[in-house]
Amino acid sequence: MNRLGVSSYSLVVSVAAILAFLLLSTGVQASVITAQGSEAPVADAGDDITIVVGDTIRFDGTGSIDDVGITNYTWNFTYEDEMQLLYGSAPEFEFLTVGTYEVTLRVTDADGHNDTDILAVVVEGNFLMKYWPFLLLGALVAVVIFQLFRSSRRKEFVSPKLVARYGVLTALTAAVTMATFVPFAPTKGYFNLGDSIVFFSALTFAWRAGGICGGFGSAAADILLGSGYFAPLTLLAKGSEGAVCGLLGRIRGGHRYAVVLGIVAGGACMVFSYFVGELLLLNVGWGAALAEAAGNTLQVAIGGTIGALLAFSVKKAYPALASE
Amino acid sequence: MIPSREAASTVERLVSVQNLKFTYEGGIEALRGVSLNIDRGEYIAIVGGNGSGKTTLAKNFNGLLRPTSGTVTVKGRPTAQMGVAELARIIGYAFQNPDHQLFCSTVEEEIRFGPLNLGYSENEIGTKVERAIDAMNLGHVRMSAPLSLRLGERRRVSIASVVAMDPEVFILDEPTTGLDAEESRELMERLNSLNNDGKTIILITHDMKLVAEHAKRVVVMARGRMLLDSDPRGAFSDLDLIRQSNLEPPAVTLLSHRLSDYGIPQDIISPEELVLHVMRFGGGS
Amino acid sequence: MVMFIDLYTEANTFLHRLDPRVKIFAVLLLSVLAFLMTNLYSLLLLLSFIFLLLFLSRAKWSKTYFALKFVLRLMLLIVVLWPFFDRTGTPILLDFGPVQITEPAIWRGVTSALRVGCLASVWYILMFTTSQRDLVLALVRFGLRFDYGLTIAVSLRFFPTFVSTIDSITDAQKARGLVFAQGGLLERSKKYVAVLVPAVVSALRMADSLSLALQSRAYGARFDRTYLRQLKMQAKDYVALVVVVTLLVLPMIAKYVYSVPI
């Protein structure tokens, strides 16, 4: 026996047993870890991106991390009504259609864990697509201005009767607008009865009076009320209202149905012009544009009724007008 | 001739104004403390130059304007508590420009408008309209378009439309402007007859001859204040005061002042009186 | 409610003294700028610049408020309704049935409203610092035909007259017992006829006498008439012109050439 009281044979066997145990247990640990797999990956599809239509976009999924390693990148989105699937950490895609696309990246690692991230791709129109309403209105305004400003070949002024009439009716349209305005959000900020004079001018003095006085008179009121930025659009909206009513409302000598037709058609021009103009030019958004359309329809209905009554009453009360 | 003013015993007080001040939006002080009373049956002329405040004062009577400070009471109630339409039953206002009122297709319709608004029954309206047409002698144009008539007739239509509302007080703003002598005379005759029927008449005018011939009481306004409130004779004899308010006394009065050295009294306000005095001077009876 | 017939206020600021043609041009360019900028902060900057100009032109607060209170309502309408119709972007703040409010949508609404505000205030400055006579003169100098210019001048001259006529008529009809604030929509419309018929007739009568007056003053005798008052561009006008053009061109270069996100 040695000093420990343990035989050397038992010592060797115990040490061997302990070593074997340690080895075996490590081996088990290792195999347990391998069987569970790595941690789940973290997907990163990159920042939201805005491009112009026609551009090619390069997706960037390289920010995704995984301890073991990502084996699969799948990009998935709906484009032109079809589901698109792209693979790889940085695939490319050409967007030919304007829109906002929600792109989902799914990464999978060697152990089958996965994660997703969402990316918004905004595809905007190119210059022409974005600005065509301005260019159109600009072209219209340019034509009007050209007509107004070129020195006429005629070398003859508009007759004094018409200068007086147009000047006065324009002033009256603006004055009535000013006298009857009520602050009210969904009609450019103020509700008014100026349309009655527009319709009156159109029905009594024909389309030129309606168009000129309606358009410029209402635009002037806009300017005077501080909403001058609306003036060009108002020129179009109320000008067309007056001109169309003047054309249609006087058929068959101003027959009742013609008057109604004129007012409805003119009113429609006004509401439509404002709606489209506000939506595309002023970019007020669908919500405000629709609210305005509703408000304007109400305004034009009331204004039209009064305008028709006016045309009728004035003709009766001031028969000297009947010679028009 | 001017009818003598009746002694007012226990006559009803229709309008009472106490220290009325009125300032327009924008800061213009149009009335700076005016006080006066108007009784039933009076025939008053409120005179003054432009900007004297006479129209502002009149508009305070029927509620078109409300006092900035001070009170205006009509038949005992403060106007601040009454609506214009309510006051229109008591106080009728015929505006200077009749064209600012006319809009109907016949004179009859036009005259109906007022009583219709006031809510009278069809029968009552019919009676009132007839009386108004008679009072203003418009029977021959009753179916004409008001706006196609002459100015004198248009003015009579506008006054008739006020008469039809049967108010107790009539305010008439420059009723004879633009009328020729004949039309003017006829109109004033009608107003006198209304006054004789017991209606209170308030004339706003700067035509001193008119005032001298018809009014029984004159209120002289200048720069927002009342300078004088007396009978016409008293008012016109004070030439300085009249001139101060940018007015010209009747020609007859001016002439009699010039002739004062010859013993002609200075309070002459009608040509007939002057003739009498001159004849006396000239050695007549 | 206080109402201003003429936004113009006489004052001696540099904006008032500029040639009206330069001012019209400047307002047009600034409007274009407002349309082309899409970034919230750039528009905010533009708005502050415009308000600085307003301050320099000694604009009275009461007039400014009157002129801008309508656009304020419109701006509010835009901001409130925009997110209901624009549902893109994250983070989503509210998801309730058909309603989906997202934060970026709110900011886009605000941006749009700011743009409208810029436009309104820049045009207001023009009206505030330029008399109507000068505006017509500018247009004529731009090449507007005399008879068209005269028609505009006629309107400008009669406009205050008609406003006061309508006032007077309204008073007169009120004194006949007409109550406006009562009755259904159709009834109220008929009441306005009582005001508008006299107004229209009065206006047409004035047109008649004006027509005679024009004829008796040799209107139309010569097409190439001369004018009493002339507009002359001075050094300060050219400087202002250059400044304004730069104000537009620089940001545009930044945006379209160098892709700066404004």
pLDDT of B248-257, one tens digit each? Answer: 778 888 888 8
Question: Inter-chain contact A224–C7, Cβ cutoff 8 Å?
Answer: yes
Query: Which residue is closest to B160 within chain C, CA to CA?
Result: C176
B99 to chain C, any CB pair closer than 8 A? The answer is yes
Query: Which pLDDT belongs to residue A186?
Result: 61
On chain A, the residues whose CB falls within 8 A of the CB of B103 are 313, 317
C208 to chain B, any CB pair closer than 8 A? The answer is no
pTM for this prediction? 0.73
| Contact of C97 with C149, CB cutoff 8 Å | no
Residues of chain A numbered 176-215 and touching chain C (CB < 8 Å): 176, 178-180, 183-186, 188-190, 193, 196-197, 200
What is the C-alpha to C-alpha distance for residues C157 and A99, in angstroms, rounded to an integer?
52
Over 50: is that where the pLDDT of A211 sits?
Answer: yes
Count of residues making up chain B: 285
Distance (Å) from the C-alpha of residue A167 to the closest C-alpha of chain C?
Answer: 5
Query: Which pLDDT belongs to residue B2?
Result: 47
Contacts 24+ apart (CB under 8 A), C110-114: C110/C40, C110/C79, C111/C38, C111/C39, C111/C40, C111/C43, C112/A282, C112/A283, C112/A284, C112/A285, C112/C78, C112/C82, C113/C74, C113/C75, C113/C76, C113/C78, C113/C79, C114/C40, C114/C43, C114/C44, C114/C47, C114/C75
On chain A, the residues whose CB falls within 8 A of the CB of C109 are 285
pLDDT of B22-65, one tens digit each? Answer: 998 777 889 999 999 999 999 999 998 888 889 999 999 999 99
Question: Inter-chain contact B102–A317, Cβ cutoff 8 Å?
Answer: yes
Identify the CATH class of A130-323: mainly alpha
Which chains does B contact via 3+ CB–CB distances below 8 A?
A, C
Query: Which pLDDT belongs to residue C200?
Result: 92
Tell me the domain boundaries of chain B: 11-90+167-234, 102-166, 250-285
Query: Which pLDDT belongs to residue A189?
Result: 65
CATH fold, domain B11-90+167-234, is Rossmann fold (3.40.50)
Question: Mean pLDDT, 10 residues at a time, over chain C (262 residues)?
Answer: 62 83 88 84 89 84 78 85 76 78 84 89 85 81 77 82 88 89 72 88 88 78 65 83 85 76 68
Neighbours of C44 (CB within 10 A): 15
Query: Which pLDDT belongs to residue C1?
Result: 44
Sign of CA dihedral B272, B277, B278, B284: positive
pLDDT of A165-188, one tens digit each? Answer: 999 999 999 989 888 876 665 666
On chain C, the residues whose CB falls within 8 A of the CB of A282 are 112, 115-116, 119
Question: Inter-chain contact B145–A320, Cβ cutoff 8 Å?
Answer: no
Distance (Å) from the C-alpha of residue C125 to the closest C-alpha of chain A?
Answer: 9
The residue among B134, B41, B147, A170 whose CA lies nearest residue C156 is A170
Query: Which pLDDT belongs to residue B217?
Result: 93
Burial readout A236-253 (b: 16 or more C-beta within 10 A, e: otherwise): bbbbbbbbbbbbbbbeee
In this structure, are strands B200-205 and B169-173 parallel, antiparallel, or unpaired? Answer: parallel
Tell me the domain boundaries of chain A: 49-124, 130-323
Tell me the domain boundaries of chain C: 14-130+232-256, 145-216
CATH fold, domain A49-124, is Immunoglobulin-like (2.60.40)
Query: Which pLDDT belongs to residue B199?
Result: 92
pLDDT of A265-318, one tens digit each? Answer: 999 999 999 998 888 877 787 888 888 899 899 899 989 989 998 888 888 777
- Based on the number of CB atoms within 10 Å of its own CB, is A49 exposed (0-12), middle (13-18) or buried (19 or more)? middle
Tell which wins on pLDDT, A238 or C142.
A238
Residues of chain C numbered 178-207 and touching chain B (CB < 8 Å): 178-179, 193-194, 197-198, 201-202, 205
What is the C-alpha to C-alpha distance for residues A208 and A202, in angstroms, rounded to an integer?
8
C166 to chain B, any CB pair closer than 8 A? The answer is no
Distance (Å) from the C-alpha of residue B131 to the closest C-alpha of chain A?
Answer: 23
3-state secondary structure of A68: coil
Which chains does A contact via 3+ CB–CB distances below 8 A?
B, C
Query: Which residue is closest to B143 within chain A, CA to CA?
Result: A317
Question: Inter-chain contact C159–A174, Cβ cutoff 8 Å?
Answer: yes
A51 beta partners: A123
DSSP letters spanning A212-266: HHHHHHHHHHHHHTT-GGGHHHHHHHHHHHHHHHHHHTTGGGT-HHHHHHHHHHH
Distance (Å) from the C-alpha of residue A39 to the closest C-alpha of chain C?
Answer: 28
Over 50: is that where the pLDDT of A260 sits?
Answer: yes
| H or E segment to which residue A192 belongs | none
Distance (Å) from the C-alpha of residue C183 to the closest C-alpha of chain B?
Answer: 12
Neighbours of B27 (CB within 10 A): 6
Distance (Å) from the C-alpha of residue C167 to the closest C-alpha of chain A?
Answer: 8
Question: Inter-chain contact B161–C176, Cβ cutoff 8 Å?
Answer: yes
ipTM: 0.80
